[in-house]
Amino acid sequence: MPVDILLRFLHVVGATVLLGTGAGIAFFMVVAQRTRDPAVIAHVAGTVVLADTVFTATAVIVQPITGYLLAKTIGWPLTEGWIVIALALYVVTGLFWLPVVWIQLKLRDIARAAAAAGTALPPAFTSLYRIWFACGFPAFFAVLAIIWLMLARPSIALF
């Protein structure tokens, strides 16, 4: 298999993992939160943290490596407009994803504590959840835009 095809494959799989895991995590957290059951939320949030660690974090590392190697192999300059914008959006995604990971850990811990104590979720849970929810939108749409840029490779003059 030619190197450029292998790199494209790995890069597309990485993008798919980022999009799919992100959407899946969001769906399951929203559904769990709607139950308001601390035990359910604690379990789902624990699974979400694991999925983010195993899948999302791996893809976050692989994407820039395969992207760089792919651009180098094909001969696309990293100053190409669509690549610069995709990289900027990747940074934006990371800026929203990193707090989300921390928030997911806190949501899990708060839900575990409430489940263990047999109490309702405290107001701090709801506040953190709202921030988590809000951070998901820009990150999700940035990933969609990156995928579109990768596929369309529009001619965008930046320099």
159 assigned to some structural domain:
no
48 assigned to some structural domain:
yes
From the number of C-beta atoms within 10 Å of its C-beta (0-12, 13-18, 19+), residue 154 rates as: exposed
Q: Domain containing 32: what range?
A: 3-152
Q: What pTM, to 2 d.p., does this model score? A: 0.90
157 assigned to some structural domain:
no
- Residue 1: its pLDDT value, please? 80
Please, what is the average pLDDT of the chain? Answer: 95
Summarize the confidence of residues 98-127 as an average pLDDT: 97
110 assigned to some structural domain:
yes
For the chain, what is the domain count?
A: 1
